[in-house]
Chain A
């Protein structure tokens, strides 16, 4: 039996690695990977708690919803990255200073 605390601590570690990437990276794709890491940490927590709800499966089902949301987010974010690249020829968020000319 794996204790619930272990899952939560692994989730916290992954979340903080994602936070670090989000704060320090200078490339929009790496920022996106950081966001995905944070989302995955949250999904891990949902799944770990979902083990204790056999009747309604609430944890697992909301983990599925979170995965679908992550897919939608990524599609939109990558479309935005491509558009920004077409306009600025860079995907460094620090160099993009307006979203509309």
Chain B
């Protein structure tokens, strides 16, 4: 087993375990901070998939932006939120949660079965790109190529998503503003 594989299994374990903790903990703040750990482990997994730039953007946008926003909203929503959380049922599995648990476990079973049957490493286009050398190597510097592709092949989606981001931010500011007269 190579070092990359050991790192992969360690990070996958950290990501899944902390995600399970987020799903099961009663304490919302602790859950949010464990979500940090999940996101960092996922960034590590992206690095192991040789997508350095995506990993860096993940850390900048998620950890720097989204989680701070979530904490901000959590602080603004006050004490009653904490109280209503404390009044929830204590156990991880109580009768209200069994349908959700069963549904998600069944969904997981279906997905794993399909993935094992699919055996993604034997897909035609993947074999083809391995044969033609179209695979990112650990020594490559991919950011240059990503920038060029972003400004040529994917220029239209890039512009569309920048407009969408601006619209979403303006809309969020509009929704969250103080009402003058209800």
Contact = CB atoms under 8 A, between A and B. Distances in A.
Contacts of A32: 70
Q: Is the interface of B mostly helix, strand, loop or mixed?
A: helix
A55 B136 CA distance: 9
Interface in B53-101: 53-54, 57-58, 61-62, 65-66, 69-70, 72-74, 76-78, 80-81, 84-85, 88, 96-97, 99-101
Contacts of B135: 51-52, 54
B144 to A, nearest CB: 10
Interface string B16-58: 1001101100001001100100110010011011110110011
A69 interface: yes
Contact of A78 (B20, B70, B140): B70
A72 to B, nearest CB: 4
Range for the number of chain A residues in contact with chain B: 35 or more
A67 to B, nearest CB: 5
A65 B54 CA distance: 10
Interface in A8-25: 8-10, 12-21, 23-24
Interface in A49-72: 50-57, 59-61, 63-65, 67-72
Interface residues of B, number: 88
A74 B12 contact: no
Contacts of A37: 19, 22, 38
A7 to B, nearest CB: 6
Interface string B114-142: 01100111000110011000111000101
A80 B175 contact: yes
Nearest to B25: A30
A24 B80 CA distance: 20
A99 B175 CA distance: 12
A81 to B, nearest CB: 6
Given A5-B115, A71-B165, 15 more contacts: A5-B121, A9-B112, A17-B22, A20-B23, A23-B103, A23-B104, A26-B84, A33-B35, A40-B38, A47-B51, A55-B134, A60-B142, A65-B157, A67-B54, A80-B175
25 contacts: A2-B4, A2-B49, A4-B121, A12-B112, A14-B19, A15-B111, A16-B104, A17-B22, A29-B70, A32-B70, A33-B32, A47-B45, A48-B49, A53-B134, A54-B142, A60-B51, A60-B142, A63-B54, A67-B57, A71-B61, A76-B168, A78-B69, A78-B176, A81-B77, A82-B73
